[in-house]
């Protein structure tokens, strides 16, 4: 019997949602999205999430909620690109109230990385992998032999006197209207620093912009192997549902 769970990926600009067949590791139907309410406070976000869930086929079982912050013991602990009212908020409890079912609350890059390592660009890869997501910010997920070291925040590593995500995210590319070369000059500096600090066997580059990998790959300079994310901007939704399936295995 196939097992279908709802995955939700909250971003600074959009909230995405989809139904995931967790055995097949793929979306059932389309990925839908709605603009993130502004201000993006916890309560303000719940009607948008309920609206997205209502537009999708009904699913039973837990929900996975990927979120752009450090999540420790079920609570958001940071809020770089989201309303500060989230700090300390229990995302799983909010979802339980809104959608009337259990939820697993986790960092968005960790969720995307889990999807890539289980089923995508990192499938079967042993050794050390650094997954980086380029979007409103830069998210990171570190893996060793497929096991996650959660809540790394390498988008906040200092680069040229600022948070690296303020220097090299996809949002910065759009805001400063950087062409591929100008943006890759910045990404290369960032990857260089990651390389010097972590020496991974593989980098996986994710976020919606990874769908344009063919355009910027010739400009990449990196000692380690670099692969584009297989699931592009679906990875967060997929990974959130996969993580919820693992966390609630046998309960629904
Ligand atoms: C947040 C991370 C998040 C990343 C990508 C950063 O600003 O601090 O927790 O993973 O953005 O959304």
Instruction: Note the pLDDT tens digit of each residue in 23-54.
Output: 999 999 999 999 999 999 999 999 999 999 99
Clarify whether residues 48 and 139 are in a common domain.
no
Clarify whether residues 155 and 58 are in a common domain.
no
This prediction's pTM: 0.97
144-198 pLDDT, tens per residue?
999 999 999 999 999 989 999 999 999 999 999 999 999 999 999 999 999 999 9
pLDDT of residue 105: 97
Clarify whether residues 84 and 133 are in a common domain.
no
For the residues 202-211, what does the mean pLDDT come to?
A: 96
| The total number of structural domains that make up the chain | 2
Q: Is the pLDDT of residue 243 over 60?
A: yes
- Bridge partners (DSSP) of residue 205 are 132, 228
Q: Whose CA is nearest to atom 9 of ligand 1?
A: 69
Clarify whether residues 143 and 78 are in a common domain.
no
> Does residue 148 belong to any structural domain of this protein?
yes
Percent pLDDT > 90 in the chain is: 94
Ligand 1 pocket mutation, candidates 83, 136, 155, criterion most atoms within 8 A of CB: 155
pLDDT of residue 1: 44
Element (H, E) at 202: strand 202-206
Clarify whether residues 69 and 93 are in a common domain.
yes
Ligand 1 pocket mutation, candidates 87, 153, 235, criterion most atoms within 8 A of CB: 153
CA of 68 relative to ligand 1 center, distance in Å = 4
> Does residue 117 belong to any structural domain of this protein?
no
Clarify whether residues 168 and 238 are in a common domain.
no
Q: Are 183 and 215 in contact (CB under 8 A)?
A: no
**Is 228 touching ligand 1 by the criterion CB < 6 Å?**
no
Clarify whether residues 194 and 157 are in a common domain.
yes
**Is 108 touching ligand 1 by the criterion CB < 6 Å?**
yes
> Does residue 27 belong to any structural domain of this protein?
yes
> Which of 248, 231, 250, 234 is closest to 117 using CA atoms?
231
Q: Whose CA is nearest to atom 11 of ligand 1?
A: 137
Q: Is the pLDDT of residue 98 over 90?
A: yes
> Does residue 116 belong to any structural domain of this protein?
no
CA gap 99, 59 in Å, rounded: 11
Clarify whether residues 140 and 201 are in a common domain.
yes
Clarify whether residues 60 and 160 are in a common domain.
no
**Is 109 touching ligand 1 by the criterion CB < 6 Å?**
yes
CA gap 211, 229 in Å, rounded: 8
Burial bucket for residue 102 (CB in 10 Å: 0-12, 13-18, 19+): middle
Instruction: Supply the angle between the helices 42-55 and 91-99 in degrees, to the nearest 10.
Output: 50
Element (H, E) at 188: helix 180-198
47-94 pLDDT, tens per residue?
999 999 999 999 889 999 999 999 999 999 999 999 999 999 999 999
> Does residue 115 belong to any structural domain of this protein?
no
CA gap 51, 71 in Å, rounded: 24
pLDDT of residue 2: 61
Clarify whether residues 144 and 65 are in a common domain.
no
Strands 147-149 vs 138-144: parallel, antiparallel or unpaired: antiparallel
pLDDT of residue 250: 65
CA of 251 relative to ligand 1 center, distance in Å = 30
Q: Are 142 and 130 in contact (CB under 8 A)?
A: yes
* Domain of 53, in residue numbers: 4-110+234-247
Clarify whether residues 208 and 241 are in a common domain.
no
Do you find a cis peptide bond into 206, omega within 30 degrees of 0?
Answer: no
> Which of 100, 106, 165, 94 is closest to 132 using CA atoms?
165
> Does residue 118 belong to any structural domain of this protein?
no
**Is 78 touching ligand 1 by the criterion CB < 6 Å?**
yes
CATH of the domain at 96: 3.30.420.40
Q: Are 3 and 21 in contact (CB under 8 A)?
A: yes
């Amino acid at each position: 019997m196939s097992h279908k769970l709802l995955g939700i990926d909250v971003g600074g600009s959009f909230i995405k949602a989809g139904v995931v067949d967790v055995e097949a590791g793929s979306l059932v139907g389309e990925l839908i999205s709605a603009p993130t309410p502004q201000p993006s406070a916890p309560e303000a976000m719940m009607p948008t999430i309920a609206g997205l869930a209502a537009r999708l086929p009904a699913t039973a079982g837990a929900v996975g909620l990927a979120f752009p912050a450090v999540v420790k013991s079920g609570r958001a602990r940071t809020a770089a690109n989201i309303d500060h009212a989230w700090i300390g908020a229990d995302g799983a409890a909010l979802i339980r109230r809104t959608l009337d079912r259990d939820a697993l609350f986790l960092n968005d890059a960790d969720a995307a990385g889990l999807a890539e390592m289980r089923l995508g660009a990192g499938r079967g890869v042993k050794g050390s992998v650094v997954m980086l997501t380029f979007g409103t910010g830069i998210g990171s997920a570190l893996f060793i032999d497929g096991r996650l070291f959660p809540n790394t925040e390498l988008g906040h590593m200092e680069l040229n006197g600022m948070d690296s995500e303020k220097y090299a995210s996809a949002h910065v590319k759009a805001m400063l209207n950087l062409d591929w070369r100008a943006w890759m000059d910045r990404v290369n500096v960032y990857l260089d620093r990651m390389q010097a600090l972590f020496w991974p066997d593989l980098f996986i580059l994710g976020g919606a912009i990874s769908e344009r990998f063919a355009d910027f790959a010739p400009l990449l300079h990196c000692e380690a192997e670099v692969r584009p994310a297989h699931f592009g901007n679906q990875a967060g939704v997929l990974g959130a549902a996969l993580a919820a399936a693992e966390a609630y295995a046998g309960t629904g």
